Structure 1
């Protein structure tokens, strides 16, 4: 699986990357497909197609020492423009 980092951006408005994953390291579990960018659609704008990925994170990565079961994982669907190579 390809490792990626979620961009640590905090733009105003409607965004589709949960706060708790920003800046975190994960692995692409799979590519889901092309969809209109919901960050543009939310404002009634013409939406560019963006690739949506399912990204897997360990609880240790997300919650650090406070993770109850550090090796458990959570998958989050994230658009390509929020990802950077790790």
Structure 2
């Protein structure tokens, strides 16, 4: 049986709605169950590239429970943030779409 939703929700208060250019960090959590924050981005800092709207929370939809609407953001990370001094092109970037409940203010 899948874990109950409240156990898999990242803890902490929701952050205020970030705007384009806001610096954010992906929460470095490892909750059980279906989550939508890539492992390699957890704990990393990026910049909001844009807001994409609100969508049903896929972490709830995965278990067939009613889904709360959650804001989704495109967040831009530099290769140096992700790979450190091993980054071949440190200033190159990668964008990822991350739900707001996985982000915290920096």
* TM-score of the two chains, using structure 2 as the length reference: 0.80
Misfit runs of 4+, over 2 Å = none
1:81 aligned counterpart, secondary structure: helix
- Quick check: 1:66 aligned with 2:98? no
Q: Residue 9 of structure 1: which of 20, 23, 29 is its match?
A: 29
More strand by share: 1
Distance 1:9 1:33 in 2: 24
Which residues of structure 1 form unaligned runs of 5+?
none
Which residues of structure 2 form unaligned runs of 5+?
1-20
- Quick check: 1:75 aligned with 2:95? yes
Deviation readout 1:8-56 (Å, 9 max, x if unpaired): 1100111000000000000000000000000000000100000000000
Equivalenced residues, count: 86
Larger radius of gyration: 2
**Which residue is 2:75 aligned to?**
55
* TM-score of the two chains, using structure 1 as the length reference: 0.99
Distance 1:49 1:20 in 2: 25
